[in-house]
């Protein structure tokens, strides 16, 4: 077993290639949990705790999550020996029967769900601005991966990351709508 020659990812410094593959399966579940449970619950609790004070805390949370994404997608990855970027949209769907490709697509979507959610919650940006910002962040990641030859620069990643941010944005809108319907209407009638 050889050690991955990199700074190591946030949760797995000095992992072997075998444990990195196993960790990737766990990452998919962790991202799903973060996207649909931790981000909404954290946003709700922070809103209750802060009660409108310290608006910079929301922005700081968003920036920390962007830093986390950058670390996990660029900084924490080893340089690849064989590197070939893929600029054909939906090229990964040719191998969709492979579990690794399915997991990769799911991870690329799920990693940006919390970002779309947090940008909506933390900045109040419009839908279009949120999607464009997430597209720009994803494009920056892919360009950096291309230049440093870490990870895989793929057009599909841009598509899946953007889809994840759209899901996150509308997930926040759905939860905000449910909250207004359940909690805010009773306070207004009283």
The burial class, CB within 10 Å (0-12 / 13-18 / 19+), for 137 is buried
Percent of the chain beyond pLDDT 90?
Answer: 26
Integer Cα distance of 121 and 116 in angstroms: 9
> Per the structure block, which two tokens stand in for 97?
């029967």
- Give domain status of residue 6, yes or no: no
pLDDT at residue 72, as a whole number: 79
Count of structural domains, the chain: 1
In three-state secondary structure terms, 74 is helix
Integer Cα distance of 41 and 27 in angstroms: 20
- Give domain status of residue 119, yes or no: yes
Q: pLDDT tens digits for 131-149? A: 999 999 999 999 999 998 8
- Give domain status of residue 171, yes or no: yes
* Average pLDDT over every residue of 38-55: 71
The strand pairing partners of 41, in sequence order, are: none
- Give domain status of residue 33, yes or no: no
pLDDT at residue 13, as a whole number: 41
- Give domain status of residue 188, yes or no: no
**Widest pairwise Cα distance in the chain:** 67
- Give domain status of residue 13, yes or no: no
- Give domain status of residue 17, yes or no: no
Integer Cα distance of 102 and 115 in angstroms: 21
Higher per-residue confidence, 29 vs 112:
112
- Output the pTM of the full model: 0.75
- Give domain status of residue 57, yes or no: yes
Integer Cα distance of 137 and 147 in angstroms: 15
Containing structural domain, residue 168: 45-77+85-181
* Average pLDDT over every residue of 76-85: 80
CB 187 within 8 A of CB 134: no
- Rg of the chain over Cα atoms, rounded to whole angstroms, equals 18
């Amino acid at each position: 077993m050889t050690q991955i020659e990199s700074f190591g990812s946030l949760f797995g410094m000095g992992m072997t290639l075998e444990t990195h593959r196993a960790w990737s399966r766990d990452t998919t579940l962790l991202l799903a949990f973060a996207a649909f449970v931790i981000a909404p619950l954290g946003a709700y609790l922070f809103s209750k705790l802060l009660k409108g004070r310290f608006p910079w805390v929301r922005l700081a949370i968003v920036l920390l999550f962007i830093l986390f994404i950058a670390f996990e997608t660029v900084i924490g990855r080893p340089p690849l020996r064989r590197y070939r970027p893929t600029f054909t949209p939906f090229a990964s769907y040719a191998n969709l029967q492979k579990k690794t490709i399915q997991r990769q697509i799911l991870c690329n979507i799920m990693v940006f769900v919390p970002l779309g959610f947090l940008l909506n919650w933390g900045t109040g940006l419009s839908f279009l601005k949120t999607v464009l910002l997430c597209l720009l962040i994803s494009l920056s990641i892919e360009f950096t991966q291309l230049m440093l030859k870490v990870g895989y620069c793929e057009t599909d990643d841009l598509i899946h990351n953007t889809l994840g941010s759209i899901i996150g944005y509308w997930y926040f809108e759905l939860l905000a709508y449910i909250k207004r319907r359940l909690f805010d209407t009773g306070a207004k009638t009283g």
